[in-house]
Amino acid sequence: SYVLTQPPSVSVAPGKTARIACGGNNIGTKSVHWYQQRPGRAPVLVISYDSDRPSGIPGRFSGSNSGNTATLTISRVEAGDEADYYCQLWDSSSDHWVFGGGTKLTVL
Partner 1 sequence: EVQLVESGGGLIQPGGSLRLSCAAPGLIVGTNYMSWVRRAPGKGLEWVAIIYSGGTTYYADSVKGRFTISRDNSKNTLYLQMNSLRVEDTAVYYCATVRPGSGSYLFDDWGQGTMVTVSS
Judged by CB under 8 A, the number of residues near partner 1 is 27
CA dihedral for 60, 65, 82, 41, sign (positive or negative): positive
Query: What does the per-residue mask of binding to partner 1 show for 24-63, with x meaning CB under 8 A?
Result: ------xx-x-x-x---xxxxx--xx--------------
**What is the 3-state secondary structure of 12-47?**
ECCCCCEEEEEECCCHHHCCCEEEEECCCCCCEEEE
Query: Least separation, in Å, of the C-beta of 46 and partner 1?
Result: 11
Stretch touching partner 1 by CB under 8 A, among 9-17, 20-28, 73-81, 95-103: 95-103
- Does residue number 73 form part of the binding site for partner 1 (CB under 8 A)? no
79 SS3 class: helix
Residues that bind partner 1 (CB under 8 A): 1, 30-31, 33, 35, 37, 41-45, 48-49, 84, 86, 88-90, 92, 95-102
